[in-house]
Amino acid sequence: MKPRLLRTLLAFSVLINVGVLGGAAYRALTSEDFPGLPRHLDLDAEQTHRWHAAEQGFLAQLADGAKAIQAHRDRLIRAIFSDTPDLALIDAERAAIAALQDAQQKRVIEQLLRERELLDPAQRERLAALLLAQPAGPSGFERLHKN
């Protein structure tokens, strides 16, 4: 197998892993057992109002970014498994995904910094602990290829 294709497959594996982690974090934060971040962090009424106001635009941007990443991911998969893989197209889709993920990561960091400003030190500590406790597991790509 060509080194470039191997790098592409490795990048693809990493992308799936990031997606799995994001999904696990989302599921943990939205499960029925989880009371919601404002309650978990014990926000007062004003903090809760500001929290929801700050997250509305962020969640919409995150969803739009996820849709764009998904579209490029689908094209990447189709390109990789086509009858004659076009390495230039594969690399272009990989680069597009990387750029979109970088933008998503920046959005998340900016949002966390905004949220940080709303919280007192104990609430910050609870949020940091919650984020650090999110499980890391094998990517979907690795699970598919274990068997």
Q: Is residue 44 within 8 Å of residue 116, measured between CB atoms?
A: no
Reported as a single tens digit per residue, the pLDDT across 53-98 is 888 889 999 999 999 999 999 999 999 999 999 999 999 999 999 9
Q: Is the pTM of this model over 0.85?
A: no
Return the amino acid letter for 75: R
Domain boundaries, the chain: 3-139
CATH code 1.20.120 for 3-139: yes
Distance CA 95, CA 107 (A): 18
